[in-house]
Amino acid sequence: MTVPLPSVRLASSSTAAPPPLRPPLSSKERIARNQAKRVQVSRDFRTDTITIPTDELYELMKNASRGDSVYDEDEDTIELEQRIAEMAGKEAALFCVSGTMTNQLAIRTHLHQPPYSVVTDHRAHVHISEAGGIAFHSLATTNAVYPRDGHHMTVEEVLDECVVDDDIHVAPTKLVCVENTLSGMVFPQSELVRLRSALDSFSIPLHCDGARMWEAMAKTGMSLSEACAPFHTVSLCLSKGLGAPVGSILLGPKDFIRRATWFRKQFGGGIRQAGGLALAASVCLDTVLPQLPRTHYLATKLARALAAEGVQLDLPTETNMVWINPEPLGFSMTELQEAARAKAGITLGAPRGRVVVHYQIDERAIDELVEVVRELKAQRTEEARQWEEQVGLEIAEEIRRKSRLYAEGQYDGRIEGPKRSLPAYGKR
Ligand SMILES: *Cc1c(COP(=O)(O)O)cnc(C)c1O
C-alpha cells in the first residue's frame, strides 16, 4: 500500500513580501545619519565605549579574513590574539565579545571546586557591574576590600580579606582580582608587584581586569608586558580606550586559555566569522592607542577649569576620567546634565558625576561644558546674593571659599559604590 505523501503548499510566486514598516533609508540618508551621530558622540561624556567606527575602519574591515573562529580557522583573529599575547608577554590570548565575558571566563577558569571566595576592591567592575556574575557562573562569594586611601588596595588590605586557613565556616580565597585603571586611577605598579609575590606564597592567583590598562600604559609609559607582568591572567577591552566596535582579549598561560575557550563555548560566546572585528581591533591598536595622551590632556584641562570654578573633584584625574560634584556651587549633577544638553548638546551621565573623555571628543565640547557650569554658577550666585540680601546669610562667601579650595587642586569625598544601592548597615 502506498502511503500518500502529505500535501505541501508551496509559497506561490505571486505572494508579495509584506511591505516594510517604513521605507528603507537611502544611502544618502544613512550617511547623513552617521555624520550626525559622529557629532553627537564628540560631545558625549558618559563613557568611552560610545566611540563609533569610522568609514576608514569599515573600508579596511571589508578585506578581513572570513574563516570560522570557533574552529580557530580565522587568520585575522588568530593574528590579533598572537599579536596581543606577544605584546603582553603572555603565552596565549582569546578574543571575546566583551570585557564582562573575559573577566567571567577568567574567574570561572581559575576556580575549581566550591566553596571559595574571590577578593576584590568594593568598587570593582567584576563585583558590582557584571550582574552578579561571580556568584552566578562560578558559585563564589566575594570578599570586598575598602581601601583606606580611597585610591587602591594595599597588599595588607588584600591579605586581610583573604581566607587561607581551613576553618569550615569560611570560604577559602582562591583568586584575587584587581582593576587597572579603576575609576580612572592608576594602580601603583610597585604595589602590584608586592601583591603578586605576597599571593604567591599562598598560591593564590592574581587576575587583572585591565579594561582600561591602555590608559595606565599611556599615563606611565609602561609597555603592555610590563603592565601585565604581575598577573597570571589579564583581560583587556578593545572597545573602550581603543574604540574598536566590539571586543576584549583574555590573556594567560596556554592551558588556561584552552580551558577558557571551552567555557567561552559553553557561555555561547564563540564568534564565527570574527575576522572583521578582530581586524578592526588590530587597526585601532595602531591608530587609536597613540591618541590616548590627548584624552588625558583634555581630562586634566577640564578638571582644572571646573575646579577653578568651584566644582568639587571627588577623585584625582590621572587618566581620562573626571569625577565631579557641582553641589558646592548650588546645583546638582542632574541639573548640570539638563543644562548641558539644552545649552550645548552635551551628554553627561547623572547622578554619578563621572565625566569620561574618549578619543572622539571635540575639544570645543570641553570648553563649552565649562561655560555651561559658569552660567549655572552665575545664576545660582545671583540667586544666593538676592537671598543673602534678604536673610543676611553668608552663602556667597562659602561658595567663594570652596572655589578657592578646589582651584588649589584639593579634592575630598570618595566614590561609595553605586548610588542605586541602599545604604549599608554597619558600613565600615
Ligand atoms: C567596561 C568594563 C568592563 C567590561 O565591560 P563590557 O561592556 O562587558 O565590555 C570590565 N571592566 C571594567 C573596569 C570596565 O570598565
| Alpha carbons 157 and 191: distance in angstroms, whole number | 12
Using a 6 Å cutoff on CB, does residue 249 contact ligand 1?
A: no
Distance from the alpha carbon of residue 225 to the mean position of ligand 1, in angstroms: 21
Residue 98 Cβ inside 6 Å of ligand 1? The answer reads yes
What is the distance between the alpha carbons of residues 7 and 249, in angstroms, rounded to a whole number?
52
Which pTM value belongs to this model? 0.87
186: Cβ–Cβ under 8 A, 6 or more apart, which residues?
Answer: 180, 215, 216, 219, 220, 318, 319
Ligand 1 centroid–CA 33 distance in Å is 28
Q: Please give the grid coordinates belonging to residue 16.
A: 508579495
Indicate where the chain has its CATH 3.40.640.10 domain(s). Answer: 55-287
Pocket test for ligand 1, best of 48, 209, 271 (most atoms within 8 A of CB): 209
Q: Counting atoms of ligand 1 from 1, which one is nearest the CA of 240?
A: 1
**Ligand 1 pocket check: which of 48, 100, 236, 238 to mutate, most ligand atoms within 8 Å of Cβ?**
100
| 125 Cα to the center of ligand 1, angstroms | 7
- In which residue ranges of the chain is CATH 3.90.1150.10 found? 292-407
Q: Would you state the torsion angle of the CA atoms of residues 219, 223, 224, 229, taken in this order, to the nearest 10 degrees? A: -110
CB atoms within 10 A of CB 265: 11
Ligand 1 centroid to residue 407 C-alpha, Å: 32
Give the CATH architecture of domain 55-287. 3-Layer(aba) Sandwich (3.40)
Exposure string of 110-132, with b = 16+ CB inside 10 Å and e = fewer, is: bbeeeebbbbbbbbbbbbbebee
* 322 CA from centroid of ligand 1 (Å): 18
For the domain with range 292-407, which CATH number is right: 3.20.20.60, 3.90.1150.10, 1.25.40.10, 3.30.470.20?
3.90.1150.10
Q: Is residue 292 within 8 Å of residue 241, measured between CB atoms? A: yes
My answer on whether omega of the bond before 293 falls inside 30° of 0, hence cis, is no
- Confirm or reject: Cβ of 125 under 6 Å from ligand 1: yes
pLDDT score recorded for residue 415: 42
Contacts of 74 (CB under 8 A, 6+ apart): 65, 66, 67, 68, 273, 274, 275, 278
Please, which residues have CB within 8 angstroms of residue 349's CB and are 6 or more apart in sequence?
A: 45, 46, 47, 337, 355
Q: Decide if 227 contacts 235 (C-beta within 8 A).
A: no
Per run of 10 residues, the mean pLDDT along the chain (length 428 residues) is 70 67 89 96 97 96 97 98 98 98 98 97 98 98 97 97 94 98 98 98 98 98 98 97 96 98 97 97 97 98 97 96 95 96 96 95 98 96 81 68 74 46 42
120 C-beta closer than 6 A to ligand 1: no
211 CA distance to ligand 1 centroid (A)? 6
Residue 211 CB less than 6 A away from ligand 1: yes
